[in-house]
Chain A
């Protein structure tokens, strides 16, 4: 089974910009991995922010965007808000099976 890697933790200043990445042990992440990004706050179910690399749900704040960057999937937060402090997970598809990354704890400080 593939291993999906994320930064364990990142810190961003309020109003600042940060990029979270999602890599695959099998090689470069492509659109064919249909990358997803989820936000999870303590005690809550995950909430999908981005699907299929760069598509936003209707509830996704415009400050979140998804892309492919340097062989990885990326989630960029532009103009961080205190309420963005959370755990972020990526999910990649491997011929229909899915694998989550280990998560990135984002601190807004």
Chain B
């Protein structure tokens, strides 16, 4: 079945450091891929998405490219801020099941 695997956390970085959170997926076909972010005490916010191979999603300085050759959708940001501290979830659309399948989440701590 469809699944998402993302790197375990927590990830701790200093402000202005480069961020990469790895995500790989297993799926039938080429589903849409997403990154969601969850700040403490809140629900999930859609950070970015890509709907087909080679698409690059981007938002708020974050980027991820849909790589079908490596079945990956790694999240990157060139310079993180303390306010980026949150849990990040990689996810894919299970269109036949009308649901989103999530990875386990990666907690990011950014130190000033």
Q: Do A and B come from one complex?
A: no
Name B residues whose Cβ lies closer than 8 Å to a Cβ of A.
Answer: none
Name A residues whose Cβ lies closer than 8 Å to a Cβ of B.
Answer: none
